[in-house]
Structure 1
Amino acid sequence: MSESPQPDPNTIKITLDDLEAITLPSPAAIATTSTSGTSIYGTINDMPDDPTLPAEKPSIWLQGWLYLGSAGLLGALAGWGICEHAFVDNGTGAKTWGNIWLLPLIVALMCVAFGIAESLVERSARKGLIRVAIALPLGIVFGFIFDFIANLIYNIGLGILGAAGVQSFHNPAVWLVRGIAWMAFGAAGGLVYGIIGKSGRKAGYGALGGALGALLGGAIFDPIAFLMERHSAHGAAHSAAPSRAIGFALLGMATGIAMGLVESALKDRWLYVTAGPLAGKQFILYKPVTTLGSNQQADIYLFKDAEILPAHATLLLKGSRIHVVPTGTVYVGGSPIRGTHVLQSGSILRIGRYGFRYQEKQR
């Protein structure tokens, strides 16, 4: 008879009692390690798209319509404030430098304010200086050119209304004519905004948005003046200056808000910042080549992170697809990429402390 096999003394035996004694760690104790070696703790349920980044509340001040609207308001008020004391409003046709420069300077300072606002949001003083240096002279030139165009449109419109029997400036048709004429000022501001952004498409969207905003601002300019005249205790002469201030401020604000809304509505592809100091900001990808890095001259400037290289990554538009070309460490979907990677709509990127969600407009 053969002998039964003897048990191996080195065999590890696990009983049911041993299995029941095992306890799993709580999800709240899960930790991940960032590239800097710092552990980041959190639960599975409250993790953002990239579990290595903490969720951050987006700032409303990074919305384009809001900061461009605020900039337009301040720029228009600044132009009015410089020229108002020299402005002649006596109906005699006499003009001083205040009359000549009022609208062109308002346009120029709106352009400057748009550039400064964009630079403040992106935290790049160097970009701000460059944009101001470009926007101020361009704004002045465009301001005078479009002032001539606006006056031509306005006088033609008044002539048509006069031939139709409209004799009063209290007629809403006159308000509409002013709005149509002042579309030229908004278009000028939008064009300069796109030029300093180095994008023809951005200039086109800016001109369209600026024209729509200025149409609204121009159309309500006269009603505001008439309303203030009616409620002024000192008569129309004393109410003219503040009514102009309010009217031009609303013109600038409406122009900036419309530029931001139109640009956002017509965008094709963009990066939305989900984590980091710029959380809530969207970067519309207009250009064939978009650079990301810690250099202030980068198209998307990523600041306050020592791990980010001056030229950390490049986004290339090839056909209808966006390709990521990493120089430093770039994570897509939580995994580092080693070479060129094609993004899909909804792709999650991480560069240092910054998280991004890439989006494309559905066609």
Structure 2
Amino acid sequence: MGRLLHVYFNALFGGLGGLLGWMLFGELISPTWDWWTQALLGGVLIGALIGYFVVSVDAILDRSLVRFARYAAYGSVLGGAGGALGFWVGDWVNYLLVSTAGAEATLLVQITSVLARGFGWMLFGLAVGVSEGIASRSLGKMSYGAIGGSLGGFIGGAVFAWLMLVLDKEDSSYVWGQAIGLVVLGACIGALTALVEEVFKPAAIKVMRGWQEGREYPLVKTASVIGRDEGVDILLLRDMKVEKRHAVIQRHGQRFLLMNNNAPATSTLVNGEPVAQSAELHDGDRIQLGNVVLRFLLRAARERPRKPAGPSSR
């Protein structure tokens, strides 16, 4: 899965979570309840579903049940808590504004209402982004997720609030506007969480041959474990020559080292050379674990401006 597909799948699953949240909100949340009860319980429901899908994207693509259970649990719990807080804060500020302004909703009040709901859902996006880092035990992923989730929550929440302002509550378009708004909210959180990671990740490895061929795995931890065990950071299934915890890629500042984790040196190669203990990685290096071939990609090297080609001689 390349960079654009990573962003696409996160947006897709985030939007799906928003759509299911809208459907269950209509079925389970009664309009006769107090507004704060609707906001809290509705926020928990919508937040848990968006968090469930956004945080579990990698585990779903890996088809790893163990990883899915862990990621989904963190995403649901923290997403639900963030959703409750975000929904309640946004609705509370909006309620105060409407009560103060009365029937005359000025442009300033409307803009403030949109920004307030955007800020409320920003808190939710922050919770979802952080939960992915907690689930993967990665400080880097947590920081990228916090930035992307906050941006996505604010933008998606503002779009949702704007739709609620411009659509007539008595018209059927209002209901569909809620659905569209929540889909946009989930998609924005998912897409921007992935996009920020793609932009700032220091390095990645790409599967050139083997299971999940074409997929890129970001290296955002100081030590990323590779193997067949479902608890590792980079999961390589379907090749029994790959050990459960075959190797570790360690980051030391701008340097990356491939450490053999007691696997056969003949099944651990860098550019065709056996690695008994460790080998420093450079951009474009070919890594082979068992029959799986990986390519090491360093962001700093790819951002470095190329030297202009000199005049050709004949």
Hey, what's the Cα distance between the residues in 1 that align with 2:39 and 2:83? 13
Q: In the alignment, which residue of structure 1 is the partner of 2:21? A: 79
Q: Does the C-alpha gap of structure 1 residues 77 and 151 become closer, same or farther in structure 2, counting only changes over 3 Å?
A: same
Hey, what's the Cα distance between the residues in 2 that align with 1:85 and 1:321? 53
Q: Does the C-alpha gap of structure 1 residues 299 and 97 become closer, same or farther in structure 2, counting only changes over 3 Å?
A: same
Q: Does the C-alpha gap of structure 1 residues 147 and 243 become closer, same or farther in structure 2, counting only changes over 3 Å?
A: closer
Structure 1 stretch 206-215 or stretch 62-71: which is displaced more? 62-71
Which of 41, 57, 60 matches 1:120?
A: 60
The percentage of aligned residue pairs carrying the same residue is 26
1:361, CA displacement in angstroms?
2.4
Hey, what's the Cα distance between the residues in 2 that align with 1:146 and 1:315? 38
| Conservation of the 8 A alpha-carbon contact between 1:150 and 1:184 | no
| Conservation of the 8 A alpha-carbon contact between 1:84 and 1:241 | no
Residues 127-157 of structure 1, C-alpha deviations (whole Å, 9 max, x = no match)? 111222333233333333444444566568x
After the TM superposition, which segments of 4 or more aligned residues of structure 1 sit over 6 Å from their partners? none
Compare the two structures and name the one with the higher helix fraction.
2
| Conservation of the 8 A alpha-carbon contact between 1:107 and 1:188 | no
Residues 1:131 and 2:41 are matched in the alignment: no
Where do 5+ consecutive residues of structure 2 fail to align? 305-314
Which of 316, 319, 322 matches 2:256?
A: 322
- Match runs of 1:193-208 below 5 Å: 193-208=132-147
1:284, CA displacement in angstroms?
1.5
Q: In the alignment, which residue of structure 2 is the partner of 1:279? A: 213
| Conservation of the 8 A alpha-carbon contact between 2:249 and 2:257 | yes
Hey, what's the Cα distance between the residues in 2 that align with 1:89 and 1:240? 15
- Match runs of 1:260-279 below 5 Å: 260-279=194-213
| Conservation of the 8 A alpha-carbon contact between 2:94 and 2:113 | no
Structure 1 stretch 202-211 or stretch 266-275: which is displaced more? 266-275
Residues 1:104 and 2:67 are matched in the alignment: no
Residues 1:332 and 2:266 are matched in the alignment: no
- Match runs of 1:200-239 below 5 Å: 200-225=139-164, 229=168, 236-239=170-173
Q: Does the C-alpha gap of structure 1 residues 189 and 154 become closer, same or farther in structure 2, counting only changes over 3 Å?
A: farther
Residues 1:347 and 2:281 are matched in the alignment: no
| Conservation of the 8 A alpha-carbon contact between 1:86 and 1:99 | no
Where do 5+ consecutive residues of structure 1 fail to align? 1-58, 230-234
Hey, what's the Cα distance between the residues in 2 that align with 1:350 and 1:104? 45
SS in 2 for 1:220: helix
Letter in 2 for 1:83: F
| Conservation of the 8 A alpha-carbon contact between 1:322 and 1:343 | yes
Letter in 2 for 1:118: D
Residues 105-146 of structure 1, C-alpha deviations (whole Å, 9 max, x = no match)? 211211111233210112211111122233323333333344
| Conservation of the 8 A alpha-carbon contact between 1:179 and 1:216 | yes
> RMSD across aligned C-alpha pairs, in angstroms?
3.0
1:255, CA displacement in angstroms?
1.0
Hey, what's the Cα distance between the residues in 2 that align with 1:152 and 1:223? 16
Structure 1 stretch 300-309 or stretch 344-353: which is displaced more? 344-353
Question: How many aligned positions are there?
Answer: 295
Q: Does the C-alpha gap of structure 1 residues 211 and 115 become closer, same or farther in structure 2, counting only changes over 3 Å?
A: closer
Residues 242-300 of structure 1, C-alpha deviations (whole Å, 9 max, x = no match)? 22111101110111011111111111122122222222322111222211111111111
Give the alignment's TM-score, normalised by structure 1.
0.71
Residues 225-253 of structure 1, C-alpha deviations (whole Å, 9 max, x = no match)? 46654xxxxx7253332221111011101
Q: In the alignment, which residue of structure 1 is the partner of 2:10? A: 68
SS in 2 for 1:279: coil
Structure 1 stretch 258-267 or stretch 71-80: which is displaced more? 71-80
Hey, what's the Cα distance between the residues in 1 that align with 2:22 and 2:247? 43
Q: In the alignment, which residue of structure 2 is the partner of 1:182? A: 121
Give the alignment's TM-score, normalised by structure 2.
0.82
Residues 21-54 of structure 1, C-alpha deviations (whole Å, 9 max, x = no match)? xxxxxxxxxxxxxxxxxxxxxxxxxxxxxxxxxx
Which of 266, 269, 294 matches 1:356?
A: 294
Q: In the alignment, which residue of structure 2 is the partner of 1:253? A: 187
